[in-house]
Every structure is written in C-alpha cells, then in structure tokens.
Amino acid sequence: MITRRHYSRFMIVAVVCLSLLASVAPMAFAADFTGQTVTSVSVSGNTNVPADQIMAAVKVKAGDKYDLEKIKLDMQAIYDLGQFLDVSVNFTPVPEGVKVVYTVLENPVWKDVVFKGNTVVTSDKLRSMITLKKGSVTNTRTLSANIQEIRKYYHDQGYILAKVTDVATSPEGVLTITLNEGMLEDIVIKGHEKTKEFVISRELYQVEKGKPFNINKVKRSVQRVYNLGYFEDVNMKLVPGRDPNAVVLELTITEQKTGTFSIGAGYSESDGMVGILGLGDKNFRGIGDQVNVQLEFGGKANDGNNYSLSYVRPWLDAKQTSLGLNIYDMTNRYDDYDDNGDYFSTYDRNRKGWDITLGRPTGEYIQNYLTFKQRKDTYVEHVDGMDLKGAPTSEYTNYLADNFGQTNSLTLARIYDSRDNVFNPTVGSRVSLTAEFAGKAFGGDFDFNKYTIEDRNYWKVGPDHVIALRVTGGYADGKMPESGRFSVGGSDTLRGYEDDQFNGDKMLAASVEYRFPIAKKVQGVVFSDIGNAWENEGYKLNDLKVGVGVGVRVQTPIGPIRLDVAKGDEGTRTHFSFGGQF
C-alpha cells in the first residue's frame, strides 16, 4: 500500500518583498505505520539535482522507527533547498517494516532573465544581482534573496517606492521580473507671495513630475530652496497620488524679509565722522536677483562721491550660468604702519574699479567661477606723518610705485560645497581653490600670481551641537601691491588680534569652533584660531599666532550678528561684526 504526503509552495510577490509560502496538502492514511521500522529512505523524480544533495537534507535514516512528524520535517527541509516546486512522500510496506520514498518535482531550468519597468537602473546592473547559475534548476531561495537585494539597491539610491510586482518563469526557462519604481505624480508649492514660483521650481531641477520618485534628490532640492536665503522655513510633505504607487510633493514656504535699508554713522581718528546709507534686496522683485547700493558721505577724505553697487543674477540660462557685477569708487583716510606695527603715515586713498564674475556648476556640488577685475588705487593727499610723495628714506622711496596703481587680474575659482545649510551648516564640507593672475598682459601695473586653498568641515555631535573646522593656506609671487597681499587678523581669520595685523605673500590660518544653542535664534561659540602671514620668507610653523575665546551669534531681521571675545598674545580683544560665520 502506498500513502502520499504532499508539500507544495507558490511564489508570491507582495508590495514590499517577495515571499515564499508553503502549503501542506491534507494527508490521507491508508495504513498506520506507527512502530514500524524504516527499512530504506530514497528520493525519486529528480533529473538535474543530484540525489545525494537532496538526501543530505533528510534526517530520517534506515533503521529508525517510523515517525510522521520527523518525515514532515524532512519534506520541509527538502523543499527549503529552493529547487523544487513540489515534494511528496510514498510509503511502501515490506515484511521488515516500511520503505520511505521522497518524490520531488523540480523547478524549471533557468536560462535567462528579463526585467520590465526599470528606467533608472539598467538591466545589466540588475542582472548582476541575480546569482542564479544559467543552466541550473531555479533556486527560489536564492532568487528571493536576489529580489531583496534589488529592492535594497533601489532604496539605497533613494527610490523608496520601488518594488518588485511580479516574478514569472516561462516554460523555456526565461525568468521575467517586473518592477514598479514609484512615480512623482506632481509638485505643489504653497506659501510664496513675493517670490515668483519659477524661482523656487528651478531649484527642483533634480526632481521631475512623471519620473521615478527619489527621496535623496527631493531632500537635496529642499536644501537648495532653503539655501537661497529668501525663506524662514521650507517644509516638505508627501501626499498619496492618484496612482497606487505614486506621490505628490508639497512644499510649504514661509517667506522672510529680504530687503534691507540701513542708515548709520561712524567715526575714526583718521577719517572723522562718516555717514552711511545702504539699500539692498537679495530677492529683488521676487525673481531671485541680488542688488545692493551703498553710499558714504562726510569724512575728511570723502569728496561726496563714495559709492559701491553690486548686482547678481543667479540664473542666466538653463545651464545655471550666474552673473555678478560690482562697481565702486571709494575715498577714505588711512593710517599706515610698517611691518613692525609702527605708525609712519596718514593719507587719503582712493580705490576705484569694477569686476565681473561668471559662474557655472559642474554637477550638483561643484561650482566654477571666472572673474575679471580692474582696480585702481590712487594716493590722493598727504595728511600727517611721512609724506610718501617725497619719502626721505630709501626704505619708502618706491612705496607709492609699489603699492599704488592699476591692478587688472583674472581669477579662477572652483568650489565644492556639500553643506546642508550654507547659513548655519551642521554637516558637510566646503573646499575652494582660487587662483588669481595679474600681469601687464592685462594692461595693469602689477604682475603677480596668487593661490588660495580653503577647506571647511562640519560635524554634528548632538541634536543642535556642531563642531566646525576651517583650514586656509595661501601663496603668491611677483610684484603685488599691499592691497592684494594676504592678511591675517581680526574677526574673520585670527581673533584676539587687530584686523589685518599680519600681511604677506604667504599665509596659514585655521579655526575650530564648538557651536551650541542658547535660545531661539541665539547660538554660543567656543573657539580657537591659529595663523600668520609672512613676506619674502617661507612658512614658519613655529611662528603661528594663537587666539582663544568665546562668542555669541544672533539671527536678526537685518542679518546675523557676531560678537566674539578672544585672547591673543597681546591681550584680549572684542570683535563685533555682521554676516554669517564660516
């Protein structure tokens, strides 16, 4: 008498993963073999899978007592090999006991794989994740693991809606895997009033309606919108679309004031009382252009014509070409000091010129700039101390010729910037390489080459705590005016020292800050700076100046304000400045 026990399993692809479900056919007994001895155990029905490979999964052996539960476990173990569509068992009674024969129905022999529905990942890439051997029996366990690997790869790339919707094998052994990569059905922008919608939508160029949805590209696009500086907040929300595997991206914008108007006055012993009038908008007319005008009046040196104008258009064309223009004509009174910091002259100095900058990105994080500058520095009038037009000592005989005249230069810059927030970064880095070339080939009075490298890095060490590090190096050669030399000292480079206290044709500087929140829009800072500049000599690592201190950063309607107190080699200094931190 023969009694058959059946195991069969069907492969089902669910919404998020491929599952293999087993079902046990009802077992009918024609005889009860309880207490009988198993006289032999064998396998039948296999043509491509070796019998010894199947039998290695079987625990019931000849000589064992008949145990139905153990036989069930053996059937499951055979099926779990992944190479069979069906497993059954036959029992044949003999005088000595009972023979056990496991009968298998093999899966199709796998010959090729075809992918459908993939647009962002190539079939060759997907095929490389299928580890089945051509010409062998399809192993559903291996295939299930491969499907999971495909899904994981999609998700790692940011395609979080991607899924495998169907897996089928033809009689010819061709495996067809169908994918649904998930679609971005629409983009909805809300909350903007002044800002034109195209100014926002052009920053979303990485995400397109009707294309597969990528969460990484969406997050980066939201960062780009926020980094424009026009908005107090940018919130992202995903709403289910009309299609089952589609979403709608909703961006809710909270605008902030971008226009500035300032009026003020300042006093210095060298220049006297100076009035300042400023007007600007970094989102002019809501189209994203930046305009700034500054006028200065009064002052001992000012003839009433001091002005500076700047204009930036961030998008000229579809390639994101940017244009920047600066025009200025400023006359101010200067106190000049020698290399030892000793005063030697006071005079009125005029700087007049313009520069134009073209920029274009290379990829998402790299920006390239080309700047042509024309600047003329003029010695206007002697006020006090040494009259440099008739310098009595050989040391200053050529001072005017060496430091006053026209500089025409071409500057190339390449910047890599992966910071999450350009105004208050918490992660990422910014690396800039700059080379300025000035020479008589451009029609100027000075001939020099100037190179600068800067590296900034940011690490989040808590929910709102950040460590920031900046390292800067510079080198120049040739005939360069004092105004073009590297300068170190003050709030932007070396706190605890006078502004631009150290000058030269070589420089090194580094700063590290620990930033932590104090209150809303108020941040505390503990920092240390190190650096120096050298003229006509090498870099001297044993001659680096050090400053340490604490500071406060406050976000205001007119922009960020910085207040730092630092101790240097010559005592403690307080630095007050406007503008963002590095």
Pair 143, 169: CB distance under 8 Å: no
Q: In a 3-state reduction of DSSP, which class is residue 168?
A: strand
* Res. 339: pLDDT tops 70: no
Mean pLDDT of 287-303: 81
Q: What is the pLDDT of residue 192?
A: 95
Mean pLDDT of 351-376: 96
Same domain as 125, residue 80: no
| Total residue count of the chain as it appears in this document | 582
Residue at a domain's end among 214, 235, 255 = 255
Residue at a domain's end among 156, 180, 204 = 180
Where residue 13 falls among pLDDT bands split at 50, 70, 90?
very low
Name the residue with higher pLDDT: 399 or 186: 186
Query: CB neighbours of 156 closer than 8 A, spacing ≥ 6?
Result: none
Distance CA 334, CA 403 (A): 13
The pLDDT tens digits of the residues spanning 107-162 come to 999 899 999 999 999 999 999 999 998 889 999 999 999 999 999 999 999 999 99
Would 31 be classed as within a structural domain?
Answer: yes
Same domain as 538, residue 482: yes
Distance CA 497, CA 486 (A): 15
Q: What is the pLDDT of residue 340?
A: 62
Q: In a 3-state reduction of DSSP, which class is residue 144?
A: helix
Q: What is the pLDDT of residue 392?
A: 63
Same domain as 151, residue 172: yes
Distance CA 425, CA 523 (A): 13
Would 349 be classed as within a structural domain?
Answer: no
Residue 580 phi, psi dihedral angles, 5° rounding: -75, 165
Same domain as 464, residue 573: yes
Same domain as 86, residue 126: no
Q: What is the pLDDT of residue 17?
A: 34
* Res. 30: pLDDT tops 70: no
Would 371 be classed as within a structural domain?
Answer: no
Pair 72, 46: CB distance under 8 Å: no
Q: What is the pLDDT of residue 24?
A: 36
Distance CA 276, CA 297 (A): 7
Mean pLDDT of 503-530: 95
Q: What is the pLDDT of residue 31?
A: 63
Same domain as 156, residue 209: no
CA angle 148, 153, 158 (to 5 degrees): 125
* Res. 19: pLDDT tops 50: no
Query: CB neighbours of 33 closer than 8 A, spacing ≥ 6?
Result: 66, 91, 93, 97, 98
Query: CB neighbours of 514 closer than 8 A, spacing ≥ 6?
Result: 465, 466, 467, 525, 526, 527
Same domain as 173, residue 93: no
The pLDDT tens digits of the residues spanning 216-269 come to 999 999 999 999 999 999 999 999 999 989 999 999 999 999 998 888 776 655
Q: What is the pLDDT of residue 86?
A: 94
Pair 461, 421: CB distance under 8 Å: no
Distance CA 83, CA 170 (A): 16
% of the chain with per-residue pLDDT over 90: 72
Distance CA 529, CA 547 (A): 5
Instruction: Name the domain count of the chain.
Output: 4
* Res. 12: pLDDT tops 70: no
Q: What is the pLDDT of residue 276?
A: 83
Distance CA 293, CA 301 (A): 20
* Res. 26: pLDDT tops 50: no
* Res. 407: pLDDT tops 60: yes
For tokens 């005016």, name the residue.
481
Q: What is the pLDDT of residue 463?
A: 85
Would 276 be classed as within a structural domain?
Answer: no
Same domain as 166, residue 80: no
DSSP state, 490?
Answer: B
Give the CATH number, domain containing residue 123: 3.10.20.310
Distance CA 295, CA 280 (A): 12
Mean pLDDT of 282-298: 92
Distance CA 458, CA 122 (A): 35
Amino acid at 427: V
Pair 21, 4: CB distance under 8 Å: no
Distance CA 188, CA 253 (A): 11
Where residue 302 falls among pLDDT bands split at 50, 70, 90?
low
Domain that holds residue 508: 404-578
Same domain as 13, residue 63: yes
Mean pLDDT of 298-309: 72
Tokens of 243: 């299609």
Distance CA 515, CA 526 (A): 7
Q: What is the pLDDT of residue 6?
A: 41
Plot region of 286 (φ>0 → left; ψ -120 to 50 → alpha; else → beta): left
% of the chain with per-residue pLDDT over 70: 90
Name the residue with higher pLDDT: 400 or 222: 222
Where residue 311 falls among pLDDT bands split at 50, 70, 90?
very high
Distance CA 374, CA 13 (A): 67
Would 395 be classed as within a structural domain?
Answer: no
Q: What is the pLDDT of residue 183?
A: 96
Where residue 358 falls among pLDDT bands split at 50, 70, 90?
very high
Q: What is the pLDDT of residue 314?
A: 96
Give the CATH number, domain containing residue 525: 2.40.160.50
The pLDDT tens digits of the residues spanning 423-474 come to 899 999 999 999 999 987 898 999 999 999 999 999 999 889 999 999 999 9
Q: What is the pLDDT of residue 395?
A: 67
SS (H, E, C) 262-294: EEEEEEECCCEEEEEEEEEEEEECCCCEEEEEE
Q: pTM score, two decimals?
A: 0.81
* Res. 412: pLDDT tops 90: yes
Name the residue with higher pLDDT: 192 or 398: 192
Tokens of 377: 């520095």
Would 512 be classed as within a structural domain?
Answer: yes
